[in-house]
Structure 1
């Protein structure tokens, strides 16, 4: 006899991979400028001092036009 739960609920949404590449951050701490557009990185003011490219971040945000939830 197999037990089944008809009231099962999956709280995890159906995530997809983003069609727009995330190219506004660098994974190399030594990078001073964006590899995509050449602009100098902006650093966050918190203790992590993460670097990102403002121009590429703006392009990313304008290219994400749908309301889907993405994994990356």
Structure 2
């Protein structure tokens, strides 16, 4: 994808709403990542490389957690 320091992690952090961009804009399927963060998150899927919470959850619990965090819904 790119060499170390190319901005891969920063891009994902911005697109997922973890970090705020210092300039410019970004959108996911037309949803602005700053003003429509929930809608943008609902339009994408991401699995983080390191996450302590996932180690102790079942697959169902992970789905429920995602629903609660991102308002995805059962559908």
TM range (shorter): under 0.3
TM-score (norm 1): 0.25
Tell me which protein shows more helix as a share of its residues: 2
Highest RCO, 1 vs 2 (Cα 8 Å, sep ≥ 6): 1
